[in-house]
Amino acid sequence: MEKFAKDKKSALKAIRKGDTVVVISGSRKEKHGKPALRGQRGKVLFVMRDKQRAIVEGLNLIKRHTRRSQLNPNGAIIEREGTIHISNLMRAELYDARQKKKEAAK
């Protein structure tokens, strides 16, 4: 298995588009009926290497209010995925291996 290196460039190589990832930490807590992000899984749709952020399918949904236009004559509230910092993500294979190792130690 590939280890995470301390420098930014090699750490960014760890998470790529199409990988299944698990959220290992984050600022969003459980409130207003929305579950916390920690422990949720999703597929990486896009990685912004310069900002060190990723867009994960179905996670960190935000509501975007749009103006009236020809596409939306009355305006609309569009729900889409927001970005998550890559330090808060871990590839699912590594996460599962770590959980299995913890269970075996008990």
pTM, two decimal places: 0.72
Quick: pLDDT tens for 40-73: 899 999 999 999 999 999 888 889 999 999 988 9
Between these two residues, 2 and 33, which has the higher pLDDT value? 33
| Phi and psi, residue 103, nearest 5° | -65, -35
Q: What domains sit in the chain, N to C, each tagged with a CATH number? A: 8-105 (2.30.30.30)
Say if CB 12 and CB 91 are below 8 A apart: no
Residue 76 CA: distances (Å) to CA of 60, 65, 105: 19, 6, 52
Binned at pLDDT 50, 70 and 90, residue 29 comes out as: low
Distance between CA 53 and CA 89 in Å, rounded? 10
